[in-house]
Structure 1
Amino acid sequence: MPDLLQAPRRSTVLGLPIHLLSDYPGWLLSQAKHSSGAHVVTLNAEMAMQAEKTPNLAAVIRSAELVIPDGAGVVLYLRLRGQKVQRCPGIELAEALLRQMPLLGTEGTVFFYGGAPGVAQSAADRLQYRIPGLKIAGVQHGYLSEEERSQLDETLRRLQPRLILVGLGVPRQELWIAEHRYLCPDSIWIGVGGSFDIWSGKKTRAPGWLANNHLEWVYRLYQEPWRWRRMLALPKFALRALTDAR
């Protein structure tokens, strides 16, 4: 299992790192077994374009221990440069890692933070039902007062969960993780965007035929039409992918 023993191979997308592995969940589980903390960034075209305008976000992505090719646009960018890359959706990575956390025994605890009130709790409950032995250390929604945010910091410091899933949206979740990692330096931190909504049943993922044709963004726009302005980054990224490859 060489991927679990060596650092991931590194490439770049618009100057941002991307780490290439055959087994992302396995590598992260190995990190967790050795109490080696990691920040996982799920890079897609929208985030890459946003990072060009947000230096703080770009700095966080560059400092992350693992940046995965979450979006079809990122995969296209790399394939145009002759690299054989398979897409790794962040929600699938997180769920695969959740299924492996019971292998850590009593230390394999998970914390859910983010989403609207009740959503993260529902997601945790459903996942705990589906994954035998999954240990939920705690759950906290993302609409907190200043006092509640301080309480959350103390809770994380006390519990030291091995896996912390943060669903605050991009770039807020990436910036929040970078700012709070010191609370649990040995933990695996993953920004999971809207995954809590999917796991809770509040929303659904795109049908397979859309995903297989790299059109998940169409389904997401259908579910969240307010995102249309942010989606304008996609054709801009595609143009960059094509022109920069020449």
Structure 2
Amino acid sequence: MVIQPATKACGGCHRYRVLGFPVDVCCDVQVAALDMHVSGGGRIVTLNAEMTMAARMDKDLGSAIINAELVIPDGAGVVWALSKQGVRVVKTAGIELAWSLLNYAASHGWTVALVGASPNVMASLKIMLFKRFPGLRLVFAVDGYQSAEAWPHLESKLRELRPDLVLVALGVPRQETWSHRVQKGQHGLWMGVGGSFDVWAGTKKRAPKWMCRMQIEWLYRLIQEPNRWKRMLSLPAFVWQVIKGELND
């Protein structure tokens, strides 16, 4: 059964729903993000099966996803769920979109803010980015290991700077719920990037290209971090919920 898009999202995208959460299918995700910046900005969420299942239990995370201006399918499970609706889409890796936006920012004079990861990762990341993008206007860069007392001041400073691009690596659900709260009233693009800072800084490796092509990056992450196995149990639960929804239609 083909389900018609619920609403039209930002330029060139159509919005569908997977287990009640929006997913935007775009001809070109970067173009959609840049159009969103021109229109005043907003938040980009990279949705996968694990996050979808977590959002069904976490009201704040669910609200952050539902209210995001652009929600891209960053996971084989979400791509599969869309295919069950007759929607063909290629997975959009959040790490690749974030990198392309950094590249665009450096070449077009955008101001950039980075939030998250460990102090060592943030230090290495800044060195790497300035070497890779000499023209990068990095106006704000703080690691995620700040005291509770420090965050209000940092958030105020970030709002004052009004950067064009804010990349947040605080992990799910924190990066989404934090961005949802702090981004309100701000222009620019805000995007949760998970472990991207660690990969860019060289402290972690991304899955080999052949695994990315086969959409089994989750297996590589599990091999790297065996303690993720409990989180991976959300994958069969996600599949069952999608199938159950079909049976009930």
Give yes or no for TM over 0.5: yes
1:124 equivalent in structure 2: 126
Equivalence for 2:157 = 155
* CA 229–5 in structure 1, closer or farther in 2 if over 3 Å, else same: closer
* 8 Å CA contact 1:29, 1:100 repeated in 2: no
Partner of 1:178: 180
Residue of 43, 63, 71 corresponding to 1:67: 71
Structure 1 residue aligned with 2:89:
85
Q: Answer yes or no: is 1:215 the counterpart of 2:216.
A: yes
Q: How far did 1:241 drift?
A: 3.0
- The gaps in structure 1 that reach 5 residues or longer are none
TM-score normalized with structure 1 length: 0.91
Write the deviation string for residues 193-239 of structure 1: whole angstroms up to 9, x where unpaired. Answer: 11111010000111122222221111101111121111110111122
Tell whether the 8 Å contact from 2:10 to 2:69 is kept in structure 1 after alignment. Answer: no
Contact 2:207 2:221 (C-alpha < 8 Å) held by counterparts: yes
Decide whether aligned partners of structure 1 residues 132 and 31 sit closer, same or farther in structure 2, where only a CA change above 3 A counts. Answer: farther
Deviations 1:122-164 (A, max 9, x none): 2232133223422211210001113321221232123211111
* Cα distance in 1 for residues equivalent to 2:155 and 2:214: 41
- Counterpart for residue 3 of structure 2: none
Q: Does 1:25 align with 2:30?
A: yes
RMSD after superposition: 1.9
Q: SS in structure 2 opposite 1:143? A: coil
**In the TM superposition, what is the alpha-carbon distance from 1:179 to its structure 2 partner?**
1.1
TM-score, normalised with respect to structure 2: 0.90
Give the corresponding residue for 1:145.
147
How many angstroms apart in 2 are the aligned matches of 1:6 and 1:206? Answer: 31
User: Is 1:13–2:18 an aligned residue pair?
Assistant: yes
Question: Which amino acid letter does the alignment assign opposite residue 11 of structure 1?
Answer: Y
Q: Which runs of 5+ in 2 are unaligned?
A: 1-7
Hey, which of these two has a bigger chunk of helix by percent?
1
Q: Is the 8 A contact 2:45 2:65 kept in 1?
A: yes
27, 50, 55: which one pairs with 1:51?
Answer: 55
Shift of 1:51: 0.8
Cα contact 1:20–1:68 (8 A) shared by 2 = yes
1:5 Cα deviation (Å)?
7.5
Say how many residue pairs are matched: 240
- Asked if structure 2 preserves the Cα contact closer than 8 Å seen for 1:25 and 1:97, the reply is yes
Partners of 2:48 and 2:30 in 1: how far apart?
18
**C-alpha distance in 1 between matches for 2:200 and 2:35:** 25
Q: Which amino acid aligns with 1:138?
A: F
**What's the counterpart of residue 76 of structure 1?**
80
Aligned-partner SS, 1:146:
coil
